[in-house]
């Protein structure tokens, strides 16, 4: 069992460098150089064992996901990821577990050029807290409060997969590995967020469930939304594993997908198609911004559909 300081050394040895990291792991705090004209974007999310991932999740997947959920927040702001800090609470760390954790964490960090610059290791129930720092051109961040009446409503990728994997895991029967990968190794839509910053009016990442998260955009923007249920994209594996009724619930209320939902003017449709092609991520129009204050999900005949619940809330679950 490694002592804290050798654990920190082990982490420091594997952390990548960046020119704007003046001082990384190993002092009381990190020192970072923010370029002139850029604003700092800061997100912080914690994953707790048994709450945010099944207890049997591989160490590398936990590492990946802990960073992914934070990079997803930066993506939803249209920010370029730069640095992160990591606080790791472990009951009884085997060096092997930490190595596996770092495999996942640092693989994703390297994909986005993110430097791990600090944090701490503590004894406690398994918990991973990450703070991610990104940069945006001053005044150009994507926010939740910019949706306008008449905007199209869009989603990247196919929501519902992660919730489908969780439903299969809970049921204990047949489990689809591709769905499970979407739960364990979500793809933060960083490039999509960066490209969309120029054309979208408002954005959020789908972490708590599509309708619940769109509700936050409505509240921040002082708008309502109509979601066309038949327009919601479904992945082939979700379509294969769940009947249409189940699928709809997963798509509308399932958390943990980390797709982006965003609104943009109708004139941007062509531009968004170009962006989707350029970044290699499907972008689907699923509704529109309307006057009001609520998210309404509509059947193809215009009838309103109410899900059994809006999304996942910690403490309320």
Binding site for substrate, by residue number, is 52, 256, 312
Stretch that binds a second copy, among 112-120, 264-272, 274-282, 293-301 (CB under 8 A): 112-120
Please give the residues from 41 up to 70 whose contact with a second copy meets the rule CB under 8 A: 41-52
Residue from 165, 137, 151, 156 nearest 61 by CA: 165
Cβ–Cβ < 8 Å for 136, 80:
yes
**Could you say whether residue 16 binds a second copy (CB under 8 A)?**
no
Tokens of 237: 């594996």
Helices 210-221 and 244-253 pack at an angle, to 10 degrees, of 40
Give the one residue of 174, 236, 245, 315 binding a second copy; rule: CB under 8 A. 315
Nearer to a second copy (CB atom), residue 151 or residue 208: 208
Please give the residues from 295 up to 314 whose contact with a second copy meets the rule CB under 8 A: 313-314
**Could you say whether residue 2 binds a second copy (CB under 8 A)?**
yes
**Could you say whether residue 198 binds a second copy (CB under 8 A)?**
no
Nearer to a second copy (CB atom), residue 109 or residue 241: 109
Neighbours of 277 (CB within 10 A): 11
Binding mask 141-180 for a second copy (x = CB under 8 A): x-xxx-----------------------------------
Stretch that binds a second copy, among 33-41, 100-108, 166-174, 281-289 (CB under 8 A): 33-41
Q: What angle do CA 36, 38, 41 make, to 5 degrees?
A: 140
Residue 142: exposure state from Cβ atoms within 10 A (0-12, 13-18, ≥19): buried
Report the C-alpha gap between 73 and 283 in whole angstroms: 18
Give the one residue of 15, 66, 102, 117 binding a second copy; rule: CB under 8 A. 117
Stretch that binds a second copy, among 56-64, 138-146, 165-173, 279-287 (CB under 8 A): 138-146
**Could you say whether residue 36 binds a second copy (CB under 8 A)?**
yes
Nearer to a second copy (CB atom), residue 60 or residue 129: 129
**Could you say whether residue 12 binds a second copy (CB under 8 A)?**
no
Q: How far is the CB of 303 from a second copy (least distance, A)?
A: 28
Between β-strands 304-305 and 283-290, what pairing exists: parallel, antiparallel or unpaired?
A: unpaired
List alpha helices for 242-317, DSSP H: 244-253, 269-279
Identify the DSSP state of 28: S
| Torsion sign (Cα): 246, 249, 255, 256 | positive
């Amino acid at each position: 069992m490694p002592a804290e300081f050798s654990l920190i050394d082990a982490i420091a040895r594997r952390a990548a460098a960046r020119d704007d990291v003046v001082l990384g792991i190993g002092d009381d705090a990190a020192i970072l150089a923010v370029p002139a004209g850029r604003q700092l974007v800061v997100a912080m999310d914690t994953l707790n064992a048994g709450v945010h991932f099944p207890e049997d999740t591989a160490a590398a997947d936990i590492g990946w996901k802990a960073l992914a959920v934070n990079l997803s927040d930066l993506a939803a702001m249209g920010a370029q990821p730069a640095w992160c800090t990591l606080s790791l609470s472990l009951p009884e760390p085997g060096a092997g577990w930490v190595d596996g954790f770092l495999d996942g964490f640092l693989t994703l960090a390297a994909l986005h050029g993110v430097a791990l610059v600090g944090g701490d290791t503590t004894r406690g129930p398994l918990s991973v807290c990450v703070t991610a720092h990104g940069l945006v051109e001053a005044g150009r961040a994507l926010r939740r409060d910019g949706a306008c009446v008449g905007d199209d409503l869009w989603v990247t990728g196919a929501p519902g997969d992660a919730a489908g994997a969780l439903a299969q895991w809970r049921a204990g029967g047949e489990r689809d590995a591709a769905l499970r990968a979407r739960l364990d190794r979500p793809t933060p839509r960083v490039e999509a967020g960066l490209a969309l910053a120029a054309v979208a009016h408002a954005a959020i990442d789908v972490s708590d469930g599509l309708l619940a998260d769109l509700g936050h955009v409505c509240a921040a923007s002082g708008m309502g939304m109509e979601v066309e249920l038949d327009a919601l994209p479904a992945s082939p594996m979700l379509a294969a594993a769940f009947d249409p009724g189940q699928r709809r619930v997963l798509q509308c209320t399932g958390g943990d997908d980390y797709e982006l939902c965003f609104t943009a003017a109708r004139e941007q449709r062509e531009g968004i198609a170009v962006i989707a092609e350029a970044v290699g991520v499907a972008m689907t129009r699923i509704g529109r911004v309307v006057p009001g204050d609520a998210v309404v999900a509509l059947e193809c005949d215009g009838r309103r559909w109410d899900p059994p619940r809006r999304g996942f809330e910690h403490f309320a679950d």
